[in-house]
Structure 1
Amino acid sequence: MTGRVTSVNVGGVTEAAWAGAANGRSGIDKRPVEGPVFLRTDGVAGDFIGEPAHHGGPDKAVYAYAEEDAAWWAAEIGRAVRPGGFGENLTTYAVDVTGAVIGERWAIGPVVLQVSMPRTPCTTFAGFWGVPDLIKRFTARGTPGAYLRVLREGEVSAGDPVEVVHRPSHGVTIGEVFRATSLEPALLPRLLEAEDLPEWIREKARRRLAGADNS
Structure 2
Amino acid sequence: MNTASLLAVCRVHQLLPDPGNVGVTAIDKRPVEGPVRVHKLGLHGDVQADRANHGGEDQALYAYSQDDADYWSGELGRELAPGFFGENLRVTGTETTGAVIGERWRIGLDLELEVTSPRVPCATFQRAIGEPQWVKRFTQAGRVGTYLRVIRAGTISAGDHIHRTFIPKHGVTVGQWFSEPTAELVQVLLDAEADGEIRLQDEYHAKFEKVLRRSDL
Distance 1:194 1:118 in 2: 18
The amino acid of 1:15's aligned partner reads: L
Distance 2:87 2:72 in 1: 14
Q: Is residue 21–residue 50 contact of structure 1 (8 Å, CA) maintained in 2? A: no
Paired residue secondary structure (2:79): coil
The amino acid of 2:56's aligned partner reads: G
Tell me if 1:30 matches 2:29: yes
Gaps (5+ residues) in structure 1?
Answer: none
Partner of 2:67: 68
Cα displacement (A) at 1:81:
0.8
Partner of 2:196: none
Paired residue secondary structure (1:6): strand
Q: Is residue 16–residue 28 contact of structure 2 (8 Å, CA) maintained in 1? A: no
Distance 1:36 1:151 in 2: 19
Paired residue secondary structure (2:150): strand
Distance 2:172 2:192 in 1: 6
Q: Is residue 180–residue 186 contact of structure 1 (8 Å, CA) maintained in 2? A: no
Partner of 1:15: 16
Between 1:196-205 and 1:121-130, the stretch displaced more is 196-205
Partner of 2:163: 163
Cα displacement (A) at 1:104:
0.3
Q: Is residue 64–residue 90 contact of structure 2 (8 Å, CA) maintained in 1? A: yes
Cα displacement (A) at 1:189:
4.2
Tell me if 1:127 matches 2:127: yes
Q: Provide TM-score, normalisation by structure 1.
A: 0.90
Distance 2:180 2:204 in 1: 11
Residues 35-90 of structure 1 show CA distances to partners (whole Å, capped at 9, x for unaligned) of: 01111112211112111111221100010000111011011011121101000000
Tell me if 1:78 matches 2:77: yes
Partner of 1:192: 190
Aligned residues: 210
Between 1:107-116 and 1:192-201, the stretch displaced more is 192-201
Q: Is residue 100–residue 174 contact of structure 1 (8 Å, CA) maintained in 2? A: yes
Compared with structure 1, are the counterparts of its residues 185 and 128 closer, same or farther at alpha carbon in structure 2 (3 Å cutoff)? farther
Compared with structure 1, are the counterparts of its residues 179 and 190 closer, same or farther at alpha carbon in structure 2 (3 Å cutoff)? farther
Compared with structure 1, are the counterparts of its residues 133 and 96 closer, same or farther at alpha carbon in structure 2 (3 Å cutoff)? same
Alignment map for 1:83-162 (pairs within 5 Å): 83-109=82-108, 110-162=110-162
Q: Is residue 63–residue 96 contact of structure 2 (8 Å, CA) maintained in 1? A: yes
Cα displacement (A) at 1:174:
1.0
Gaps (5+ residues) in structure 2?
Answer: 194-198
Partner of 2:50: 51
Cα displacement (A) at 1:194:
4.7
Q: Is residue 18–residue 124 contact of structure 2 (8 Å, CA) maintained in 1? A: no
Cα displacement (A) at 1:33:
0.3
Distance 1:145 1:64 in 2: 6
Q: Provide TM-score, normalisation by structure 2.
A: 0.90
